[in-house]
């Protein structure tokens, strides 16, 4: 499909504790299910390039609660995968009654697995790309220790030092050593991150989703019983990293093998957030998976 542009219409939806903003790129002539593209904490802005490859379908993107245009209205600092899944359930209900096809990446894939466990009737096909479901990993105790250290660093020193440690953990290849949390921290400046603490503690990843996401355990019984076709996806160039390994284990637990997608964790990015991977090849692979109906 030749890349084209379809104007997005922005809408809002009131949900418990938040006002979500979502975008609809509508194709009135399409008979295909709505295609939703989601991440977390990444919002709709990350899917501009990928959405342009699917102008033959209606495409919906959104900003998760507490991210970019979606405002939290409660006072809780933490959001859980269960809460995000309920947001998605309400969003799908607002867009129509037919089951949707859902591409979900990173934390969005964790939230999507919980959505399928709770509301499988709403999802025809889920492509879950590199969910950081660390509880399924054999080295989860070391990962959780590193995650706790990252959160403590965030509360103590702010986003720059904590994000530097996060990048080191997320990009580490292979099992995480037991002493990983005690290793010398990377310099935030190496990643273009701030070295001074501005006092804010409202980062969507480190402040809002971190603890609950790290401790999320997929409901494999519900997922195996769901009528939804679940395709686990991992990146061709991110082998050995935490989210890639977790995606492969989830696939195994569901009795399947992961599908290899071009690029790495952000393989679909085409300049969003200053990152460009392999968006054309990624979109072609996604179209192939969407079209491969058993």
Segment 65-89, tens digit of pLDDT = 999 999 999 877 799 999 999 999 9
4 found inside a domain: no
Over residues 10-27, the mean pLDDT reads 97
- 144 and 112 assigned to the same domain: no
Domain count, the chain: 2
Decide which of 159, 187, 210 is a domain's last residue.
210
Same domain, residue pair 95 and 180? no
Q: Are 44 and 61 in contact (CB under 8 A)?
A: yes
- Tell the residue number behind the tokens 């400046």, with chain if given: 189
Is residue 42 pLDDT above 60, yes or no?
Answer: yes
- The answer to whether residue 145 is domain-embedded is yes
What pLDDT score does 38 carry? 98
Do 153 and 129 lie in a common domain?
no
Identify whether 2 is part of a domain.
Answer: no
pLDDT at 75: 78
Decide if 62 is inside a domain.
Answer: yes
Statement to judge: residues 224 and 109 lie in one domain: yes
| Cβ-based neighbour number of residue 233 at 10 Å | 26
**Both 128 and 200 in a single domain?**
no
Q: Are residues 108 and 18 located together in one domain of the fold?
A: yes
Closest CA to 61 of 100, 118, 15: 100
Calculate the alpha carbon distances from 38 to 28, 114, 291 in Å: 21, 14, 19
**pLDDT exceeds cutoff 90 at 49:** yes
- Cross-strand bridge partners of residue 233: 129, 259
214-233 tens-digit pLDDT: 999 999 999 999 999 999 99
Here the tokens at position 78 are 């933490």
**In which residue are the tokens 């889920």 written?**
126
pLDDT for 2: 43
Render pLDDT for 126-147 as a digit per residue (tens, 0 to 9). 999 999 999 999 999 999 999 9
Which of these three, 210, 229, 254, is where a domain ends? 210
204, 271: one domain:
no
pLDDT at 294: 57
262 close to 239: Cβ distance less than 8 angstroms: no
Give the CATH number, domain containing residue 253.
Answer: 3.40.50.1820
Q: Does a structural domain hold residue 3?
A: no
By the 10 Å C-beta count (0-12 exposed, 13-18 middle, 19+ buried), 293 is classed as exposed
Q: List the domain range (segments joined by +) for residue 224.
A: 9-133+216-291
Confidence of residue 293 (pLDDT cuts 50, 70, 90): low
Q: Are 11 and 24 in contact (CB under 8 A)?
A: yes
Task: Please tell me whether residues 23 and 89 are part of one structural domain.
Answer: yes
């Amino acid at each position: 499909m030749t890349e084209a542009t379809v104007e997005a219409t922005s809408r809002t939806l009131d949900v418990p504790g938040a006002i979500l903003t979502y975008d609809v790129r509508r194709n009135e002539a399409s008979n295909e299910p709505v295609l939703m593209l989601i991440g977390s904490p990444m919002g709709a802005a990350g899917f501009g390039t990928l959405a342009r490859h699917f102008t033959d379908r209606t495409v919906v993107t959104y900003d998760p609660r507490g991210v970019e245009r979606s405002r939290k209205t409660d006072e809780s600092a933490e959001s859980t995968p269960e809460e995000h899944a309920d947001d998605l359930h309400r969003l799908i209900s607002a867009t129509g009654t037919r089951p949707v096809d859902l591409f979900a990446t990173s934390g969005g894939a964790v939230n999507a697995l919980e959505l399928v466990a709770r509301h499988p009737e709403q999802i025809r096909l889920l492509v879950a790309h590199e969910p950081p479901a660390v509880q399924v990993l054999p080295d989860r105790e070391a990962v959780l220790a590193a995650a706790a250290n990252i959160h403590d660093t965030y509360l103590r020193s702010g986003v720059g030092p904590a994000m530097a440690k996060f990048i080191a953990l997320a990009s580490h290849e292979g099992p995480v050593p037991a002493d990983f949390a005690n290793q010398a921290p990377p310099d935030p400046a190496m990643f273009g991150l701030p070295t001074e603490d501005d006092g804010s503690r409202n980062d969507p990843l480190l402040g809002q989703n971190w603890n609950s996401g790290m401790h999320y355990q997929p409901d494999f019984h519900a997922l195996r019983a769901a009528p939804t076709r679940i395709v686990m996806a991992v990146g061709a160039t991110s082998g050995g990293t935490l989210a890639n390994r977790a995606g492969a284990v989830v696939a195994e637990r569901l009795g399947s093998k992961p599908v290899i997608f071009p690029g790495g964790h952000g393989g679909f990015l085409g300049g969003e957030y200053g990152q460009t991977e392999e968006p054309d090849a990624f979109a072609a692979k996604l179209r192939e998976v969407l079209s491969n109906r058993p």
